[in-house]
Each structure stands twice: as structure tokens, then as C-alpha cells.
A and B are shown apart, each in its own frame.
Chain A
Amino acid sequence: MKKLKIVVLAKQVPDTRNVGKDAMTPEGTVNRAALPAIFNPEDLNALEQALRLKDRFPGTTVTVLSMGPHRAAEVIRDAMLRGADGGVLLTDRKFAGADTLATSYALSCAAKKLAPDVIIAGRQAIDGDTAQVGSQVAEKLGWPQVTYAEEILGLDGGKMTIKRRLENGIEVVEAPLPLVVTVNGSAAPCRPQNARRILKYKYAMIPTEVAADPESLAAEMTAKHDYLQIAEWGADAVDPDPTQLGLEGSPTKVKKIDSVVFALKESKCLRCTDDEINSLIVELLETHTLG
């Protein structure tokens, strides 16, 4: 098999380095609308591994699958400008409030419909840091998983050879397709958007975006060219068991959210002068904190 059908799981995430006061809803879920949204960093590493397979095995297709609100179409478009062939946005209010398990279930239903040879995802997303979705999608599909991948080394006879980066070393494993691979941040960074692809794909849109401005040039272009149409699937499109979706399908519940309050210590404030730093060091030595 030298021609692969690859699905890359990508998530649009709030940039957790830039969080304001209205970041959480009263129910304790994330108020995504209030935050800048970015392509989850490790999903970009995953995309690069997929694009490298596409470079090596012509005829390979890379489809980006993302779940989220309409504006998450942005990550699919971004991926297309970097080299992906197209994408599917899984979007429906029925998915709202999902924990990792309900998210994984919905993604696995969509993946079944796309029927890829391999699913490649980032190891974890920066808004949750759980590293659960890749493994759970694999389990839902009954496929093997290779997590913490740093490089897909080869593909031979339906088996993939993958280097994993663990905390204290590396492991090289061989796993048969179909397979889920999750990619570590230590893997090669993703290639940038390509100028020719920008010209070709900049108008790629989901139907909701087209409908928002039907008279625009973008809408006209998208209507003319199939390759500009990013698919938009609601829950019904993937034929799920409704009890496994969204809040209802989530075994974990948020009991409460506390904002971070530091217990104030009595802190001695020093200025940056030789005298004050000297007396601090003397004190630390006298109390045997140092030395």
C-alpha cells in the first residue's frame, strides 16, 4: 500500500496564554468566544507528519477533521494552505459540553465515515492538556494506538514504523494499519503556508460561511470549485448514539470552578541593591537555608 488516506485531527484552541476575566461561563465551561483562537500547536506537528507521508507516497490524501464551532473552520483552511487536501468540520449544538470521552466518541463516528488508513493527531491540546482524545478515538474504533510519536519512519506492507519520544528515552515500534498516531511537540514543526496554495485555497469555506455572505467573491468561487468546499457535518451526518454525545455522554462533570486565590504570605520586599541582597544572603546563611 503506497497510497494512504490520512485523517488529521486538529483542534482550534483558546490561546491559554492570553486569558481574560470572562473566559469561563457560569456553568464552568470555557467561554470560547471571549478568547483568541489558535491552531493547537501539537496538531500542527501531526499535520506535518501527514504531509510528509503525502510527499513520499503520491496519491495520498490528507483530510483534516475538526470538531468545534463554525469559526473552527479557520484551522481547516489554515491546514489546506499548508498542504492538506480538504477537511470536515464537525459542528452541532448536540456536541456542546462534551468531555474528552464524548468528544472522542463523536470524532470516532466521523472517522468511521471517512474510513482512513491512519489517523494522526497532536498528543494533546493546550486548553485541556489531557492527552486523552487520540487514545480514546483509537479505542472507540478498536484500532491500535501509538502515542508520543516523534517521527513516522517508514511504511512497509501495511505496517508503519514509528519513533516515540518518552520522558527518558526513545522507543521504535512497528504497528499495523489502520492505526491512530499521536504526535509529540518535539516532532518536526509544520511547514508554513505556501504562496501558491494561498492563491488556490484562500476562499475555502464551510457552507455556513458561504451563507453568511452569499454575494461575496468567496461565495462565488466556492460554488464554482468543489475543492474549496470544506464539509460541515452535524451530529446526524455521522449517525451517532445520541446518549453518548455532549453533556449527556460525558461521565465527568465539573463540580465547581475556583478562581485562583493565593493565600497571601507576608512577603518582604527588597530592592536590587548590593546592601539589601547582601543582608538577605547573610540571613539565609545564618538560618542554614544556604550552606
Chain B
Amino acid sequence: MNNLFVYIETEGGKVADVSLELLTKGRELATELGVKLEAVLIGDGVAGLAPELAKYGADKVWLAEGAELAPYRTLPHAAILCGLIEAEKPQICLMGATPVGRDLGPRVSSAMHSGLTADCTSLVIGPHKDPKTGKEYEKLLYQIRPAFGGNIIATIINPDCRPQMATVREGVMKKEYAAKPGAGEVAKVDWKKMTRPEDFVVRIIERHIEERKIDIKGAGIIVAGGYGMGSKDNFQLCFDLAETLGGEVGASRAAVDAGFCEHARQIGQTGVTVRPKLYIACGISGQIQHTAGMEDSAMIIAINTDPEAPINNIADYTIIGDVNDVIPRMIKAYHKNSK
């Protein structure tokens, strides 16, 4: 009771990275709270994944298996998660801010009448005193996220309703085996009692999920372009530089919204979080929404015409100039010196 739940997402027989990242974070929070970390694993033929969840610190794995439970559909997964929440009363429930988690989370939070904070960039345990009633709370989950287009950082709490729910984007938390593995005790869930026939009315007719082609998360060098690249044609310069340096291409939300490149390359709160050894920001102003996804890079170079751009404040090097001048010079300099 009052433990910490992590909803486990699976695809193609594997646990999604974001779920392992949440277990890693969940382990830390559960230890601080003195409670158990429990994974909720719903799918078909997924029992074999339980030992891996234990390595990331899961004390217990709630396992619901059945052919009807995969691929993911909203209603049966929501019914099972709600059933478990009602029975086990976890104080916290975390899930990935993926198309699955962002579909499931609100449905469950509405049914449980508990709040849900989307796309958190940090989760911390802390106290709270209600300014009006003076009521004091000891260990609440601070759900911290940039808000309002990234212009502010909001700390959201959920004082009275349980569970405290939050979604977190892939890559935001680090993924690490627990110092001491959890017991990973598997508890089978009698899910048929938790679902009704109406939960199966939506039918999946067709499904094409591809292996991810673009994966910038693991890249050591990232050349990221922003709205300041000017056009889709010009954005090609980022690809040229990335190819020269042996890196990957990323983009700010503004560049993706403008159609300069595909969404899979978006870095920031509503995209991927990256920590490369070198990050080159080209024509990116540096709104918090973007910097939240790259500020832990080991070295940051910002190329910008604006000496006042916020990105310059977190950069190790700032090159003041037009990307059209700077990038070709960098490519030339690399060719000259790399041999």
C-alpha cells in the first residue's frame, strides 16, 4: 500500500527505454519515501521481462497478460491500471510521456480524480504548507516542468488526491541498474475481473510501427538547427556539418513546426532530451523549452547573430555571426585540421 507505481510500456517484446528511466527515478524516490517500487506490466507474453524490471529496482511486478491486451488499447489498460490503483492505493504513479502514456494517463487520472502533470523535467520529494489553510504536508511529489511555452518553470503539487501522477519524456531521466536489484516478485493480476466487455469495443485494424530510424539520443555530437536557419533548404547546412563532424542532426521546436525537419529530431521538453559531448546550436535562440533538453551537454557551442540570445548564457563558446557564414567556415576548418 502507498507504494510507487511505474506503468511499463512495451513494444516488439522489449521494455521501452522511458519505462526503465522511470524505474531508475522511481527507485530513488521510493527509497527516499521508504516505500516499494512496483512495476505494472500489461501485455501479451511479457512475463519474461520481469527480471529486467527487477534489475532496475522493481520490488514487485504486477503482471496482466492476455492476447486482448496487446497491442496497447486505451480502455483495457486504463481499466486494469485503475483496478490496481483502487486495490493498492499507490501514492505515486509515473508513466512515459509517449503516445501511449499521454493517452492512458489522462484517462486514468480522470477516473481516479487525481491530478496529472504532463512532461515533467524533474521530480523531487518535498514538504508543503497550504498558504490558506495552514495545513502541512510532509512528503509530496514536486512535479516540475517548464510551462507556458517554456517561459516559466512551474512546480505542481497534488496535496490531497492520490495517486500523484506524472508523465516524463523519454531521455529526461537517466537509465541505470539499481545499486541493489529489486526482488521483482511477480504478482499475477486477475484482470478479467477489472475489465468489462465495453472496454474492448475499439478494434485495431491495421498497425505499422517501424523501428526507430532516427535516434539522436545516443549521439556524441549533435548539430541542432533552429528557426534562425531560415528555410528547409538552408537547414541542410546542419546536415552537412553533422556529416563532417560525425554527428547527428537535432532541431528546436520552432524549426520542426516550420517544417525544416522531422519531429523525431526535436530536442527539448516536447522532444528528446540529449546529453552529447558536443552540442552545436545553430540559429537557436534558446528558450527554456529547448534548453531543458540539452543543457547537460558536456560542451555547447552557440552560433547566433544575436549576442543577447539566451542560448549564449549556457554556451561554452558563442560565435556571433550568420549560420550561412559560420557553418561553411567550420566545415573548412575541420577538413584542414582533422588529417
Task: Write the residues of chain A forming the contact surface with B, with a CB cutoff of 8 angstroms.
Answer: 14, 16-17, 19, 23-24, 28, 30, 99-101, 104, 126-136, 138-140, 144-148, 161, 166-176, 250-260, 262-265, 267-272, 274, 276-278, 280-282, 284-285, 289-291
Contact = CB atoms under 8 A, between A and B. Distances in A.
A140 B254 CA distance: 34
Given A144-B74, A171-B204, A260-B288, A267 B312 contact: yes
Interface string B129-147: 0000000000000110011
Nearest to B247: A290
Interface stretch (B31-39, B44-52, B114-122, B231-239): B114-122
B315 A265 contact: yes
Contacts of B146: 260
Contacts of B109: 101, 132, 136
A255 B157 contact: yes
Contacts of A145: 74, 103, 107
B317 A270 contact: yes
B319 A135 contact: no
A258 B210 CA distance: 40
Contacts of A176: 201-202
Contacts of B157: 252-253, 255
Nearest to B152: A257
Contact of B320 (A19, A254, A260, A271): A271
A257 B154 contact: yes
Given A129-B118, A166-B99, A173-B202, A253 B159 contact: yes
Interface stretch (B19-27, B58-66, B174-182, B327-335): B327-335
Contacts of A131: 102, 106, 118
Contacts of A254: 154-156
B152 A260 contact: yes
A75 B63 CA distance: 46
B87 interface: no
Contact of A282 (B119, B212, B337): B337
Interface in B196-225: 201-212, 221
A191 B151 CA distance: 31
A153 B51 CA distance: 42
A169 B207 contact: yes
A290 B338 contact: yes
Contact of B161 (A138, A144, A251): A251
Contacts of B211: 168
Nearest to A130: B118
A277 B330 contact: yes
Which of A24, A173, A274 has most chain B Cβ within 10 Å?
A173
Interface string B94-114: 000011001101110111011
Contacts of B188: none
A106 to B, nearest CB: 13
A156 B289 CA distance: 42
Nearest to B321: A272
B201 A265 contact: no
A9 to B, nearest CB: 14
A261 to B, nearest CB: 9
A199 B25 CA distance: 58
B152 A267 contact: no
A267 B110 contact: no
16 contacts: A19-B148, A128-B118, A129-B118, A144-B75, A169-B210, A172-B207, A176-B202, A254-B154, A264-B313, A265-B313, A265-B314, A267-B313, A268-B317, A268-B318, A281-B334, A290-B334
A146 B202 CA distance: 9
Contact of B99 (A134, A148, A172, A253): A148
B245 A132 contact: no
Contacts of A269: 307, 312, 317-318, 320
B149 A127 contact: yes
B151 A135 contact: no
B187 interface: no
A101 B202 contact: no
B99 A16 contact: no
Contacts of B322: 272
Closest 6 CB pairs of A and B: A16-B149, A272-B321, A252-B115, A251-B115, A135-B106, A169-B209
B243 interface: no
Contacts of A250: 115
A258 B152 contact: yes
Interface in B2-41: none
B70 interface: no
